[in-house]
Structures are given as structure tokens and as C-alpha cells.
Amino acid sequence: MNSGASTAPAFDLEVCAVAKRYGAFTAVDGVSFQVAHGSFFSILGPSGCGKTTLLRMIAGFTEPDDGDIRIQGRSMRGIPPNRRPTHMVFQHLALFPMMSVGENVAYGLRRRGLSHAQALQRARAMLARVGLPGSENKRIEQLSGGQKQRVALARALVLEPALLLLDEPLGALDLKLREHMKLELKQLQAAVGTTFVYITHDQSEALVMSDQVAVMNRGRFEQVGSPEALYFEPRTAFVAGFVGHNNRLAGHVADVRSDAVLLDHPSGWQAWARPMQPMAAGTPAWLFVRPEVIELLRQPPTDRPAWPVQVLAVLFDGGNTTVHVQHTPSGASLRVALPLAGQWSDVRPGQSLFVAWRAELAWAFPRTEEDDHA
């Protein structure tokens, strides 16, 4: 074995304590993470959280104030965007309307010095890989929105970047096309094997497509993990409230046990939940419970607490139908996922029912002033 042989780095991207400030405002605050070769990594967060600034620093359009960015083991400090092994796909695509589809895809190759024939040959091959064989002579205005997305991806991928950076590329599409393109992007990334770094404020996009997701808030990463980990094991109240649908209720810790805490409210409701962080009796807390884990009942159960509720509205959406209910004594409202089974086909506004859930399926977090404004 040759001990001197070099090996490819395990991570295509390493971001090390990167920060960016604009005057007194800190847009990105000491963020560190790694992206494995060939993976789909998403940065998920609300508008203004710093995700676009972070992506622009990776691309080289913005220089970090602190920290380092390494791509395939090489520091990018001082390296301009056109010399980085990255390519960026923007929300508005920036395709050239005066060029054919093939010329659009071949443009970067021509800039690198390839002949017209060589560039078009590689462009045709990449168009076939993204599901657009034989389209090289079409005009951009002849394409649908989804086809334009694939041309933009082909134009980026034909340059064989180490990282493909995607800045909310599905944001301008209508809902049905966006749902379709989520699956196409995921399948395309798996097929070509290029490392994708994707930013979005749409949790569905991040959960469906990604191997790993970073949830960003106020310039920092709250949690990095698989979509399943973020959904089922959130580490902070922000992640619990931002990822997936959730009911969030304010209360105080009334009792603490080894695996559960009892939360109560002056208006009268009580509920057990699993503590996700250390908590002490008497402290303010959030209760999070997802609509799909709440049981809708005609009679209260005998083995756990239940809330008397009145049905306010039935929100029909096929398989995702929910019932909006209100706790009768306190006025607290909850959204409950309606089971697909037919026994609830008669639920109507004004009905008096009960809701309950198992303590291990609800989460309790300490409540802070910062969380109140999340």
C-alpha cells in the first residue's frame, strides 16, 4: 500500500466559524458545518435569517468577516467566484432568451475555451440527463416553467462543479409544478452525484429532498440533522415550531418526572409532555403537539388527561383534512388531523368532543422571551 497516496476529502464543503456583519447587524453569526461528498444539503429558515448571505459567501460573491470556507479541502479565502469549483442556480434562472436551449447550456463551456462542436455535444448529453433530449434547438420561450428549470440545472451541471448552489430555485413556480420539481431535483441529484447545497424557506422542499437539513434562525444554525431527526426530535422550540405543522401552547411546569413534565395554565388546562431540555417546576414552558398525534374522542379516556373541546371548523383538504377545535374552559385552540377512517365523517362545527394524546408524543421546551417572538 502506498502511504503517500492522496485521498479525496470526505467533505466537499467545510464552513468553519463563518461570520458576516453589516454595521451593527450580524447576518451570519459563527456558523460551522460540513457537507459530505455527493449529498443533498439544505439550509432552511425564514426570510432574513441569513441563509442567502451564507450561500453568497460560499459562492464567493460576499467575503466573510471571520472564519473560513473550504471546498474539497482547499480554503476559498480570496478566491473569486469564477475560480471556485461552484455554480449557482438562482430563483429567476437568468437564461439567455436570444440563445437556443443548447447554446444556453453550452455557454459556460465556450467561455472555458471548448470549440462550438465540443460544447454543443456535451450540452446535448447533459440535456438528455435532465430529461430534455433533442431540445437543443428550441428557443427558451418555447419551454414550460419546469423545462426552464431543467435547462438552468443542465447549464450548471455541464460545468461539473464540486458544489451546485441553489438559491430558492422553485420559488417562482406554481404549487403543482413545484411539487413535481421537488421529486425531479431529488432524482436528478441522486443520478448525477453532484453535491447540492440548497436554501429555502419552504420546509416541505427541505424535508422531501435533503439528506441533511440545517435549520437557521437569526444568523445561527439551531439544529443540523436528517429530515426525520428534525421532525421527530427537535432540539429547540424554534425547530419544533418551524419544521412541520405544530400546535404551540404557553404554560408553566407544574410537576417534573423522569420522563415527563406536567404543564398547566391559569385558565385551567393541563397536559403531560416529554421534556426536550432540562426544566424545573414553576418555570415558563412551551407545549408542542402535532395535529397527527392528537386523538379526537367522543368520550374522555380513563387512562390519561383529556381536554373538552368544541369544534370551530372542519378544514377539508382530502387526505390532510384537519379539525379546528377550541378548549372550552380556556379558549386555547388546536388543529387536529382528521383520521381517514369514516367514523369522523359526521364531525361538524359546534360539536362538543374531547382531545387527548400520549405524553411521549408531545414536547415541552423552556419558554424564553426570544421564543415569544419566534
Read off the pLDDT band of 11 (50, 70, 90). Answer: very high
The pLDDT, as a whole number, for residue 8 is 62
Its domain, for residue 53, covers 11-237
Same domain? 68 vs 201? yes
Instruction: Decide if 362 is inside a domain.
Output: yes
Instruction: Decide if 85 is inside a domain.
Output: yes
- How far is the C-alpha of 311 from the C-alpha of 307, rounded, in Å? 12
Same domain? 264 vs 209? no
Phi-psi label, residue 56: left if phi above 0, alpha if psi -120 to 50, beta otherwise:
alpha
When the pLDDT of each residue in the chain is averaged and rounded to a whole number, the result is 89
The pLDDT, as a whole number, for residue 280 is 92
Same domain? 79 vs 197? yes
Query: Over the stretch 266-293, which tens digit does the pLDDT of each residue have?
Result: 777 888 999 999 999 999 999 999 999 9
Same domain? 62 vs 137? yes
Instruction: Decide if 256 is inside a domain.
Output: yes
Instruction: Decide if 5 is inside a domain.
Output: no
Same domain? 259 vs 308? yes
Same domain? 52 vs 184? yes
Strand-by-strand arrangement of the 11-22 sheet? 25-36, 11-22, 66-71, 74-75
- How far is the C-alpha of 6 from the C-alpha of 151, rounded, in Å? 36
Same domain? 227 vs 270? no
Q: Does the pLDDT of residue 3 top 60, yes or no?
A: no
Domain count along the chain: 2
Instruction: Decide if 2 is inside a domain.
Output: no
Same domain? 321 vs 267? yes
Percentage of the chain lying above the pLDDT 90 cut = 61
User: Which CA distances in Å does 170 have to 140, 149, 157, 178, 196?
Assistant: 18, 8, 17, 6, 14
Say whether 302 sits in a helix, a strand or coil: coil
The structure's pTM equals 0.88
The pLDDT, as a whole number, for residue 331 is 83
Instruction: Decide if 1 is inside a domain.
Output: no
Secondary element (H or E) of residue 243: none
Same domain? 198 vs 150? yes
The pLDDT, as a whole number, for residue 209 is 93
Residue 342, domain CATH: 2.40.50.140
Q: Does the pLDDT of residue 15 top 50, yes or no?
A: yes
Secondary element (H or E) of residue 189: helix 175-192
Which residue, of 188, 216, 237, is where some domain finishes? Answer: 237
Q: Does the pLDDT of residue 255 top 80, yes or no?
A: yes
Secondary element (H or E) of residue 54: helix 51-59
Q: Does the pLDDT of residue 1 top 60, yes or no?
A: no
Query: Over the stretch 27-63, which tens digit does the pLDDT of each residue have?
Result: 999 999 999 999 999 999 999 999 999 999 999 999 9
Same domain? 277 vs 147? no
Instruction: Decide if 324 is inside a domain.
Output: yes
**Mean pLDDT comparison of 89-93, 109-113, 308-312, highest-scoring range:** 308-312
Same domain? 223 vs 252? no
